[in-house]
Amino acid sequence: MLRPGWRPAGRTLVISSVDGARVTLSAVSIAPGAEPVSFLELTETAGWQLRSDGGALVAAFTNGSYSSSRIATVDLPTGAARWVTPDDAAVFDVSPVWSADAKAIYYAEQSTIPAQYTDQGIFRISVDGSERTQVYGSDRYGGTLVRVSPGGGWLVWTRGQAGGSTDVLNLATGANKTFEIAGSSGEIAWRTGRPRALVMSRGCCAGLPVGELLLWDDATGATTRLIGNDAAPYVFAGSADWDPSGSRIAAGVRDRTALERSSRTAPFLVAIFDASGAYRGLVPGAQGDVLAWVPEGILLRAGSSSADNAVEFTLISESGGTSRLVYRTAASNVSLAAIVSP
């Protein structure tokens, strides 16, 4: 605990900085003028997730010989920690995520005996360590859990394979759906109304570095292509989010003509689409990866134009009329870990 008793005062970005086995979490209030606060440091983990209110963390910690791992929760205001899964020398418990009501934890389990390596499946366990239940069986080389959907009905995960995958598990029925997308994927943005899920593909390794944006109806299973890899003049660049009302989409795009000239110099632009995939226009002056669309604006991550190669997180309005720097760091291996609110 770097800042005992820390709690978010309002909507807060949690930025992770990775240095080898050490992960440092810093809180950045989305309100103007707030100073970043480094509040937690983790080492030797096999996946972790903050609770949505920022009050607790769940993490899988490896043992000293890296031969197994087990899951613990940490109460951030007090620093109190407790083990959730038992100490089993032959098991890796990995990639834990909170249930929607924060009363349980989902995680993947793998055997660590080299001669008998097997994926054990996906499990649910109460935060007190009781009621351990398998919710999905073994599946090839297993996978990494990403998140539970806001309503709690779906578990998003990605398979342990080249390029990853986008999988969603129906927690009520146990049925799993794998999106057959060419190339890497694994990110989903959700809204309240149906069809709810945006499925993002970054495309395959051959040809132009472009992908697709799909809209998925979790009730019917219907999938609609919103932005195809043959789109023009702007092609999908692999990042997107719903606006707070769930009626529009901010997506990272690149100009096809500039991309054909050079994939290294073509900038990442931000375009607005409606829920049917109809293009509405570029956000003036916006460049970078779309991280989130929150009530305060569209959150972007981009490299600085200065010589220090800093990473900048900025908020920009949909009109492009207002923009402000939220966080800037010279560290290279940084990312948005969560957005939390008390």
Is the per-residue pLDDT at 242 higher than 60? Answer: yes
Output the pLDDT for position 181. 63
Is the per-residue pLDDT at 36 higher than 70? Answer: yes
Domain extents in the chain: 184-295
Output the pLDDT for position 114. 66
Task: With beta carbons less than 8 A apart as the criterion, state whether 14 and 340 touch.
Answer: yes
**From 79-88, 200-209, 275-284, the region with the lowest mean pLDDT:** 200-209
Output the pLDDT for position 67. 82
Mean local confidence (pLDDT), 77-90: 92
What would the pLDDT profile of 118-144 be if each residue is shown by its tens digit? Answer: 788 999 999 999 999 999 998 767 789
**How high does pLDDT run on average in the chain?**
89
Is the per-residue pLDDT at 204 higher than 80? Answer: no
Going by pLDDT thresholds of 50, 70 and 90, the confidence category of residue 220 is: confident
Output the pLDDT for position 89. 86
Most confident of 159-173, 233-247, 253-267: 233-247
State the residue for tokens 């923009």.
323
**From 21-35, 85-99, 181-195, the region with the lowest mean pLDDT:** 181-195
Output the pLDDT for position 203. 59
Is the per-residue pLDDT at 299 higher than 90? Answer: yes
Output the pLDDT for position 219. 83
State the residue for tokens 């949690």.
14
CA distance readout (Å), 219 to 148, 168, 194, 285, 290: 16, 12, 8, 38, 27
Contacts of 309 (CB under 8 A, 6+ apart): 303, 330, 332
Output the pLDDT for position 153. 92
As a residue count, the chain comes to: 342
At residue 214, φ and ψ (nearest 5 deg) are: -115, 150
What would the pLDDT profile of 319-329 be if each residue is shown by its tens digit? Answer: 999 999 999 99
Is the per-residue pLDDT at 207 higher than 70? Answer: no
Output the pLDDT for position 117. 63
CA distance readout (Å), 166 to 31, 196, 226: 33, 15, 17
**pLDDT above 90 covers what percent of the chain?**
60
Output the pLDDT for position 138. 85
Mean local confidence (pLDDT), 267-272: 94
Mean local confidence (pLDDT), 192-196: 90
Higher pLDDT, 212 or 98: 98
Output the pLDDT for position 81. 94
Higher pLDDT, 309 or 240: 240
pTM over 0.75, yes/no: yes
Please state, in angstroms and rounded to a whole number, the distance separating the CA atoms of residues 304 and 310: 5
Going by pLDDT thresholds of 50, 70 and 90, the confidence category of residue 116 is: low
